[in-house]
Amino acid sequence: MRSLLLLVSTLLTSSFALQLPYDHILWGPGGLASGGFVRRQANTTSSAAPTTTSRAPDSSCKNGPLTRSCWSNGFSIATDFDEKWPNTGKTVYYTLELRNTTCNPDGNGDRTCLLFNNQLPGPTIIADWGDTVAVTVKNLLPDNGTSIHWHGIRMLNTVTEDGVNGITECPLAPGDTKIYTFRATQFGTTWYHSHHSAQYGDGAVGTVIINGPAAANYDIDLGTYSVTDWYYPTTFQINAIAHQNLQVQAPPPPGDTILINGTNKHPTSGGGSYNKVKLTPGKKYRLRLANTSVDSNIRVSLDGHKMKIITGDFIPVQPIDREWILLAIGQRYDVVIQANQPVGNYWFRAIAAAPCASANRFSALSIFQYDGAPNADPTTTGFTVPTTCADEAPLVPWVKNNVPSESFISQAQNLDVDLGRQQVTTNGESIVVWAVNMTAIDVQWEKPTLQYLIDGNTDYPQVSNLIEIPAGQQWTFWIIQETGGTETRVPIPHPMHLHGHDFYILGSGQGIFDKNVNVADLKFDNPDRRDVTFLPGGGWVVVAFPTDNPGAWLMHCHIAWHIGEGLGVQFLERKSEITLPGSAWQQTCTNWKTYYNGNPAWLKDDSGL
């Protein structure tokens, strides 16, 4: 069915292409109903004047300041990236060396940091849509393994490259090297980070830009702008305290500060520095915001300027303006900022989001300076801070997709699953119920799930929290329920992240999901789509995705302490079609076992993820 629809929608796109103006927004929402899917349709009603560049995005229109929706021959913002991506024939190569070093990002003093190429954040990986990306990761840490995850990358048919130790690979032993190779089937902004316990909190993160078309025009791409919480003790120390606190239902310790693009000024000593961004009056800038926190959901804002959201995670959306943007851990927003205010200096602010139960001892500032403004700290005041904790909404995906509702609605009526039950379970058809009641996942680093598949072993330990999605399903629907109350021990919003896919967010709410009430309010018609979403504290979220990527994939809370405690599940998707790994993968395991069985300095003391 999907391939038939692809054919129909491709024809539609190309036949409308020549009439489109390219001055601002190019395609509006439309719909082509057929079977379970509704696909995009070109909007030809706009009468905006064409610009000097080509008017045919899907054949000869070139990407430029006034034609950002164009990309290259046959590809544009209207392309359905589930179905096709450019064949560039190009591979971009990067080398990341992970070292144990020191850093001092805000002038508080040196501390141990685990950094890629001695940078915080690590080097930005840049590729074009459709490129192959090959990253050589060298683990130069003397005392820790590592495993690098490429957050939000679909990893279509490349589950061995997902970098989740204990599921898709063994950790890289100290001294070991792995070349992670994958295709950039989507475009936008993301990040990479270690998935080896809480290691990324000590600095083992970096950002990724996949160049492609955009939903609004801009002159200059400022690149990635990461915001993160930061602790003065190491993450391994905080992780241990967070786990102790959880036993007595106390929150983890708050962060000590927040870093914007890796820097901030120290709260008391005035050491460190503000990151500075220069603006030319009249120009439009694209800024790629990414939250690389371990614990804090962060709100950001630029005084006096609205930010136009054009992408949420990897999904281009109908542009909307915001004064503040809330970034859950792992979420990204690409925004366009217009330098249309009086020449001067403006504060950019990043604060912990109290309504999301995020806390920090401090906040972060950086400076946006117009050409011609003096070198001085801004004196601007901020916009009023919102009091909510939710994904930015409504975000309307540019390429329209509907989720088929019939099978879910009928199965939900017969659903006989105790939502407080301490496990992940399925009705044997399309629905998975995950009752989050600290049913802790615990992976075996030396025996990843893919090794079970190689061995033909289905004797997965209970603590692997593994569920097999029934074969032959086109869509899988997940009801994720936080049971609330004291049993859960963490009744706060959780930023839930999915590997190998993004998900459609059909709805969320407070209390226990009630099939008799809540099903009717779910949104199946072009719902928001992303790879991290909030599970409300003491509430539920329903997500759906097509089972189009064979693999063993993790779904988990992105609060480092929570996944360390085990707030995650894994699922096997189209098991018989998973490409099993070869000898280089096995060598990583051999090297790991040699290291780990030979008196390592440290032993695994959490979920391992």
At 231, list the tokens. Answer: 């602790």
Q: Is 525 in the site for ligand NAG (CB under 6 A)?
A: no
From the list ligand NAG, Cu ion, none, partner contacted by residue 602 (C-beta under 5 to 8 A by kind):
ligand NAG
Contact between 425 and ligand NAG per CB under 6 A: no
Cβ closest to Cu ion, residue 453 vs residue 557: 557
Print burial letters for 580-597: b (CB count within 10 Å at least 16), e (below 16): ebeeebeebbebbeebbe
Q: Measured from the CB atom, is 156 or 300 closer to ligand NAG?
A: 300
- CB of 56 or CB of 220, closer to ligand NAG: 220
CA-CA distances (angstroms) from residue 77 to 456, 489, 548? 42, 43, 22
Question: How does DSSP classify residue 265?
Answer: B
Q: Residue 461 carries which DSSP code? A: -
**Partner that binds at residue 317, options Cu ion, ligand NAG, none, CB closer than 5 to 8 Å by kind:** none
Return left, alpha or beta for 107; rule: phi > 0 is left, psi -120 to 50 is alpha, else beta.
left
* 545 contact partners, CB below 8 Å, separation of at least 6: 475, 476, 498, 501, 502, 503, 504
144 binds ligand NAG (CB under 6 A): yes
497 touches Cu ion (CB under 5 A): no
**306 DSSP assignment:** -
Mark residues 73-102: x for contact with ligand NAG by CB under 6 A, - for none: ---------------------------x--
Q: Of 461, 433, 463, 429, which is closest to residue 567 (Cα–Cα)? A: 463
Query: 297 with 353: CB under 8 angstroms?
Result: yes
**Residue 609 CA from chain centroid, whole number:** 16
Binding residues for ligand NAG, rule CB under 6 A, total: 48
**Among the residue ranges 1-9, 130-138, 505-513, 556-564, the one whose residues contact Cu ion (CB under 5 A):** 556-564
Q: Cα separations (Å) of 375 from 285, 368, 369? A: 21, 11, 8
The one segment of 14-22, 179-187, 323-331, 586-594 that binds ligand NAG by CB under 6 A: 323-331
**End-to-end CA, the chain:** 37
Per CB under 5 A, the segment of 241-249, 539-547, 562-570, 601-609 that binds Cu ion is: 562-570
Beta bridge partners, 257, equal: 230
Does 420 interact with ligand NAG (rule: CB under 6 A)? Answer: yes
Q: Smallest distance, Å, CB 456 to ligand NAG?
A: 29
* 3-state SS class at 332: strand
**Residue 560's binding partner, choosing from Cu ion, ligand NAG, none, with beta-carbon cut-off 5 to 8 A by kind?**
none
Q: What gap in Å lies between CA 370 and CA 385, rounded to an integer?
A: 24
- Rank residues 21 and 281 by Cβ distance to ligand NAG and give the closer one: 21
Q: In whole angstroms, what is the distance from residue 138 CA to residue 356 CA?
A: 36
State the number of CA atoms in the 13 A half-sphere of 277 facing the CB. 25
Stretch that binds ligand NAG, among 87-95, 149-157, 176-184, 349-357 (CB under 6 A): 349-357
Is the distance from CB of 422 to CB of 462 less than 8 angstroms?
A: no
As measured in angstroms, the least distance from the Cβ of 409 to Cu ion is 29
Q: How far apart are CA 182 and CA 131, in angstroms?
A: 9
Contact residue for Cu ion among 562, 564, 573, 589 (CB under 5 A): 562
Question: Which of these segments, 42-50, 400-408, 502-510, 519-527, binds ligand NAG (CB under 6 A)?
Answer: 42-50
Shortest reach from residue 329's CB to Cu ion, in Å: 9
- Residue 247 CB, shortest distance to Cu ion, in Å, is 16
Q: Sign (positive/negative) of CA torsion 233, 236, 242, 247? A: negative
The reply on whether position 299 binds ligand NAG by CB under 6 A is yes
Enclosing H/E stretch for 98: strand 91-103
E strands, 275-394, are 276-279, 284-291, 298-302, 307-312, 315-322, 325-327, 332-338, 345-352, 364-370
Q: Does 29 bind ligand NAG (CB under 6 A)?
A: yes
Q: Does residue 338 belong to the site contacting ligand NAG (CB under 6 A)?
A: no
* Residue 494 engages Cu ion in binding (rule: CB under 5 A): yes
Residue 483 contacts ligand NAG per CB under 6 A: yes
CA atoms within 13 A on the CB side of 276: 14
Is there binding between residue 227 and ligand NAG (CB under 6 A)?
Answer: yes
Q: Pick one of Cu ion, ligand NAG, none as the site partner of residue 227 (Cβ within 5 to 8 A by kind).
A: ligand NAG
| The two three-digit tokens of residue 546, written as one number | 């097509």
Residue 291 found at the interface with ligand NAG (CB under 6 A) = yes
CB of 256 to ligand NAG, least distance (A): 15
Binding piece for ligand NAG, criterion CB under 6 A, among 76-84, 137-145, 335-343, 562-570: 137-145
Q: Is 142 in the site for ligand NAG (CB under 6 A)?
A: yes
209 in contact with ligand NAG (CB under 6 A): no
Question: Does residue 189 belong to the site contacting ligand NAG (CB under 6 A)?
Answer: no
Contacts of residue 108, defined as CB under 8 A and 6 or more positions apart, other chains included, come to 232, 256, 257, 266, 269, 271, 272
Does position 351 interact with Cu ion (CB under 5 A)? The reply is no
Is position 357 an interface residue for Cu ion (rule: CB under 5 A)? Answer: no
The residue from 9, 189, 318, 358 that contacts ligand NAG (CB under 6 A) is 358
Per CB under 6 A, the list member of 148, 356, 396, 569 interacting with ligand NAG is: 356
Number of helices and strands in the chain (H, E): 7, 34
Contact with Cu ion (CB under 5 A) among 208, 227, 505, 557: 557
Binding of residue 532 to Cu ion (CB under 5 A): no
Give the burial string for 325-339 (b: 16+ CB within 10 Å, else e).
bbbbbbbbbbbbbbb
Contact residues for 518 (Cβ-Cβ < 8 A; gap 6+): 507, 509, 540, 542
194's contact among ligand NAG, Cu ion, none, with CB below 5 to 8 A by partner kind, is: none
Q: Which of 8, 65, 388, 602 binds ligand NAG (CB under 6 A)?
A: 602
Residues that bind ligand NAG (CB under 6 A): 25, 28-30, 43, 45-46, 100, 112, 114, 141-144, 197, 222-223, 225, 227, 234, 236, 261, 275, 277, 291, 293, 296-300, 326-329, 350, 352-353, 356, 358, 420, 422, 437, 483, 487, 495, 602, 604
Residues that bind Cu ion (CB under 5 A): 494, 557, 559, 562
